[in-house]
Amino acid sequence: SRKSWIEENFCKRECVKFIPSSRDLHRCIPICQVCQSLIRCCCGRLMGEHSWQESLPPTSLCPGPGQDVEEDWSIELHTKASPTNAYGTVDFQDTATRVCRAKYARVAVDSKAELLLQLMLREWQMERPKLLLTIQGGSENFTLPPKVKQAFTKGLITAALSTGAWILTDGINTGVSRYVGEAVKTFGSHDLRKRNTVGITPWGVIENNMDLIGRDAFRPYQPLGNPLSKRACLNGFHSHFLLVDDGTLGKHGCQQGLRRKLEKHIQIQKIHPRLNQGVPVVCMVVEGGPSTVSMVLEYLSNVPPVPVLVFEGSGRAADLLAFLHKQTAADRIGDVFGVDRAEASHLYNLLLKCMDHRQSVSKTCFRVWHIGIRHIEYSHSTKSSPAEQLSMALVWNRADIAQKDILLYGQHWQVGSLEQAMLDALVMDRVSFVKLLIDNGMTMSRFLTVDRLEELYNTPHGQADRFLHHLVEDVKQTSLPIGYRLSLIDVGLVIEYLIGGAYRSTYTRKHFRAAYSHLQDKVGIDRRRNSSTSLSKQIRGLKQNSRSLQDLSGNNTLSPGLVDPLLQVSFNFNDLFVWAVLQQRQQMALFLWQHGEEALARATVACKLYRSMAFEARQSSIDDDIAERFKSYSLEFGQLAVDVLDCAFRQNEQMAMKLLTSEMEAWSHFTCLQMAVSSCHRPFVSHSCTQTLLTDLWTGPLNMRKNSFLKIILSLLLPPAILLLEFKSKAEMCHVPQSHEAMLFGLDSAKSVPGHQGTDYMMFYLAFLMLFSYVILVKMDDQPSVQEWLVILYILATAMEKTREVVMSEPRKLSHKLKIWFSEYWNMSDFIAILLFLAGLVMRWHADPYRTAGRIAYCLDIIFWFVRVTDLLAVNKHAGPYLTMITKMTSNMFFIVVMMAIVLLSFGVSRKAILSPNEEPSWVLARDVVFQPYWMIYGEVYANEINPCEDNDSCPPTSFLTPFLQAVYMFFQYIIMVNILIAFFNNIYFDMASKSNKLWRYNRYRYIMTYQAKPWLPPPLIILSHMTSCLYKSVYSTSFNTSLPELYLGHEDRKKLHEFEEKCVQAYFHEKSEGPQSNIFFSNVFLTRVEEMCMVMGEVSERVNFIQDSLSELDCQLGQLQDLSVMAVDTLTLLSASDSLQQEEARLAQCRPVQASRHILPHSWTLPHRNGADSDVPNMRLLMTKSCKSTPPSLVKGYTLFFIPEIICLFFWGFDNLYLSFNLHVVLTCVCVFTAMERNNLMRLAHDIPFTPVSILGEEVSIYSLEEVPCNADPESNTVSSWSSRGLSAMLQPLFSEEGSLDGGLRRGCRVLCTWAERDVLRPGHIYVVKAFRPEVVRAWQRYFHGSTALQLCLREIQQQRAAQKMMQVFNQVKPNDMQHSPRFLDVSLVLWHSNGQWLTIEKNMCGHFRKYNNNTGEEITPCCSLEEMLLAFSHWTYVYSSRELLVLDIQGVREELTDPTVIMADDHSRGEMLFGPDNLGHAAITGFLQKHSCNVCCHRLGLTGQSYKKNPIL
């Protein structure tokens, strides 16, 4: 059992002797409890944590007499091995996204590697590795860059899954193992067998390792460790764990030795049973410390060296190895690892040794993972031969590597290496490699030999191999011995058995059997069964020269398949295609179907083979899944055949019909149509192309469109009237096949019309039935009458025709001929009818009673002949489906009839026994049992016999039971069983009605082909046709058979037909490639490439930013150096003048007063302002300091200051005492006059930095915004709103959309797109709305504002929106918390349009349904939601909060984003100035609001009452 095997072969280690880790000997005797809790053993455990079952704990830590004071702890001397007690399954608890479980086992550090591999393969059932990826790196947590992490995790799992690799890590939840676990979590599989991520972890460092103790246990594990603990948790996304136990606790590194032994043992295992190569091992280095460098050196020093993939960019050891791979340097070692100089020198030597194996080290970054593991695989096999490299890529199933790195032009190959690669690819079912080798010149005629083909058939392939042996046993009717090797003759028998009919395989024909027997005698039967070396391999072994890949496409005079002159068999894709079908390799079969000729034929052959295999699987009671799989494969190839036929029919109808009827020499001279009919492929037969061909076959050369129905009837009745008919030309009939008789005798067009033949046969048959009916209805004389002689002649002629059909059929054996002939139902019916008639005819010549028996035989025989008429109706479009329904009902009603018979017998026997207790033994009893109960099914209840005692006759005992039994019988039989039968028939009817059209078309083929193969004269005149054929045969010595008509083409015509078929296949795949599935595929490829390009662009962007930052830093440093140089020059100048009067002059020159000049204000900013006295020097200095606050110190010195008064609108806001002030301030603006150094610096930057001008769409504008600045004048208010001192530039492009008009009563609006903005004053790429006052509004307000009227109106519009915004902020703070909405007003800025000097306002564009909740006259909407109630209540709240001075109306916007409010102030105009916009209606608006406003729920919750304000003194 697994339990005993694991415990017998694996052990654990426990420390049995306490050796203190501290050299300071403790002398407490006995050892106190404090010492036991402080002093640890060299194994890492305290004294109490040791197991003292076999010895006593030490009483003193002092060494005894004769003992070594400094005894070193070792695993061999101080630990004891015992059977492992921890193995089973661990269930990780914190992985909520998926169920993560892993197998684990606690093993000793000295365990054998072969036992560990056996544990993983046999007990844990892991798949054999094809590649071993061992991950080395940092064990502590470190951070990978996001892009490096994403590429590493995705690339690692993609590489592992594509090659079937094992991944070995430390298995802990820190360091590089954690990143591997995240990769498995994100991209890995749920199946443990497919994950194959093995963690080799020290037992002593695992957190909560005692929870894992148990034999074959299922242990939950919580991978959340104590942050203060030095132990580590297991990573929950590994599939298997080897917990290495060396007896220590809390010590890392003990697993490395066992891990290396396991890696070396796996490396010597075969990568595949067919190959002699070992499993490749690749080491990956991600980050890492000093121990990682030693590990890399160990890998590189191995023989052969293990390839090391260093992941550049991950940090520390990996970066150093990557750097040293390019250049050697020891300066950074101490800084990177934080070690002293001696250890850094040691690491330097180790790194140099690693670089001695430079050819085995691969420096890579995360971009390498976008091509999978190609770099790893190629670096591993650089020293291998091309054949070995190709074999390795074949095992990994990486055709992309083989194409790009191995199968190169000019590569030389050993003789036979590519043939062996093709054989391995076929055996391993590597479709991509087979395609690659074929594309590079491999030909089937060179590759396929008898030996190789038999080797393919005898390669074990699981269920497919067993099923094929089962078919051979069915064919041979014997059991095959164990180890039996299939021959091609056995395969041929299986093919004939599956296809059936008269099909003969190439492998079973006489010439092949003779050549095959000769080859067996030459090579030896025993050698062929015990050795896989073929004769062709021996011949190739005699050759010494090698040939290159491009030579494969050249001509070769000696083919390996034609070694012996007797075996003149040329194998091709057909043989390989049949092998793929019989071996159930569907993808390989689909690929091989595309190559070679006769693609349509191969599709129908595969459909037939799979259909027959599905039938055999059901008959043999094999797994139902196999039968269903065969059925699905058959349908897939059947649909493929229909699609190709449809594509061909759309391109060229005549060529498509030639494909149906041209004989296929490679397929036993069958036609595609015959093969489709034999496989019951109804969609193929009912296709328009097939039906058009059948119509042409039925009508022959007769042109039905130009001949009326009366002409045709007249020609049937009067043969000379045939001359009146019109016929088709030979060009129109080139695609129609002809029978052998028509070709041999050159029959004219009228005689070769199957439609005429069918009509003639039908007329003669009806006449025969009339004569036969007359014969049996009248008195039979001693001698046959004329009518009877005609009937006898007709039936004898029919018997001769049936005999000829059997004798002239294609199979060689008579038993096979009869078997095929009797497989047809009507042939069986005709045989019984003829046999019964001949028996009656023999008895008819004798006297009575034999003559009477003969007459009775006649009477029964005519039934079969009348039933035969239904076959004539099968071709009818309306009657045919009904006949099919009757046939299906009759064949499927068997079990229901059996159940009805059981009920009938149960009632009939009991009834007869009760009513007739005194009957004597007689056969009449059997009739009486079923006679009356049978007729009761149809409603005859025999009412006068229900009560037998009614006539007072002798009444049998218990006769009263019969009425009760009859009632029960009638209920079950008449009501239940009969209705079940009717329902069953009804189900069949509706099922068949849906297929009636296809059934009719399918039966139409059989009917037409039947008359196509018949002689041109009906019975009894058919004898004349046979006599003519025999005469022609004797004269011309020509033989012919009765096979179905085929289209015989010459070599050139056949070549053209194959070219046409190949074009149709290509067109089909082209149409398929443009379908939705291909679009999805190309979309996925496009998305992958876009992701790759995004990663590359991101990397480029990071590098550009880094370069820019570096240049900026360098520029700053250069500027500082220049500042220092200027200061040094100034200092030297001052020092030189210290002894003279020039020192004072220099000081005065440097401290000359700053001059100020006043500039005239712009005309548009003219407002009442303070006088010049207000602009005193301290205020100027204060303003100068504020304005130059962000200026670097290096640029402050040496400025010449100019005072430029500008208009600044300061908006002071206080909510306790609300007031507005609109003042002018003279603001100090610094105009910098740079020093020479700074001027040179700017000039250098302007000339040296390359600049490519970019054209930006739009028009230039300046944006002025309101900014919040600290308020010193009003201590109660924290900030005030102040206009910016200068405008920021932006580029705006007007948009003309159809979203809706933005115009209002006072202003017009337009949407604009921001294409560029300075300092993010606007967001480029976003849409904004600019608004300008209408000209008539500006003209109306010019009497109030004599300067820039538009500017003043815009300033006041912005000012009132800021006021409403401030009040909304306070409203959102004081409203109840359960009022969830938080509306806000948009920010508005001032815009100066440079092109026309126009002033506008700008705000963010709102998307959505725009609503207006009230207007500036006080009218409001009826609220329908909580948001609308809140906004209406906000207007009410502003009136209350401002002490009845302000009222915010005209609230409008999209959801919670609002804009364009109106702040109503009753005395705005009475003060002689306008603080807010021109839409302020003052007292009238407040009155209208108080009258029209209806307080809602929000008003009441805010404590607002509307009634008290009607008496307001202000109003």
Between the alpha carbon of residue 1026 and those of residues 797, 804, 1020, the distances in Å are: 10, 9, 11
Residue 1450 annotated among the catalytic residues of the structure? yes
Residue 671 has a CB neighbour count (10 Å cut-off) of 23
Whether the bond between 1015 and the residue before it is cis, its omega within 30 degrees of 0, is: no
Report whether 580 contacts 588 (CB < 8 A).
yes
Distance between CA atoms of residues 1164 and 1149, nearest Å: 40
Report whether 644 contacts 1065 (CB < 8 A).
yes
Report whether 1354 contacts 1401 (CB < 8 A).
yes
Which among 1348, 1345, 1355, 1332 has a CA at the least distance from the CA of 1220? Answer: 1355
What are 285's two structure tokens?
Answer: 């280095």
694 CB contacts (<8 Å, ≥6 apart)?
A: 1004, 1005, 1008
DSSP 57: P
Indicate the length of the chain as a whole number: 1515
State the DSSP H helix or E strand holding residue 323, giving kind and residue range, or none if neither.
helix 316-326
Distance between CA atoms of residues 268 and 25, nearest Å: 50
Distance between CA atoms of residues 772 and 788, nearest Å: 7
Q: 664 - beta bridge partners? A: 670
Distance between CA atoms of residues 344 and 348, nearest Å: 6
Which amino acid type is present at position 1039? S
Between the alpha carbon of residue 1171 and those of residues 1156, 1223, 1225, the distances in Å are: 16, 12, 10
952: helix, strand or coil: coil
- Quickly tell me which residue has 């994100």 as its tokens: 186
Distance between CA atoms of residues 607 and 1242, nearest Å: 82
Following DSSP, what letter does each residue of 1428-1496 receive, concatenated? HHHHHHHHHHHHHHTTTSEEEE--EEETTEEE--EEEETTTTTTTS-SS-TT--THHHHHHHHHH----
554 CB contacts (<8 Å, ≥6 apart)?
A: none
Between the alpha carbon of residue 393 and those of residues 378, 401, 407, 1343, the distances in Å are: 9, 7, 11, 91
489 CB contacts (<8 Å, ≥6 apart)?
A: 507, 508, 512, 513, 516
175: helix, strand or coil: helix
Which among 1296, 754, 686, 784 has a CA at the least distance from the CA of 997? Answer: 686
Task: Give CA 931 to chain center in angstroms.
Answer: 67
Distance between CA atoms of residues 192 and 240, nearest Å: 8
Report whether 245 contacts 238 (CB < 8 A).
no
Distance between CA atoms of residues 1192 and 949, nearest Å: 133
Task: Give CA 816 to chain center in angstroms.
Answer: 50
State the DSSP H helix or E strand holding residue 666, giving kind and residue range, or none if neither.
none
Which amino acid type is present at position 791? V
DSSP 608: H
Q: Choose, from 245, 246, 319, 1450, the residue flagged as catalytic.
A: 1450
Following DSSP, what letter does each residue of 1350-1412 receive, concatenated? HHHHHHHHHHHHHHHHHHHHHHHHHS-TT-----EEPP-EEEEETTTTEEEEEEEPP-S--EE
Report whether 1291 contacts 1262 (CB < 8 A).
no
Give the active site residues: 1450
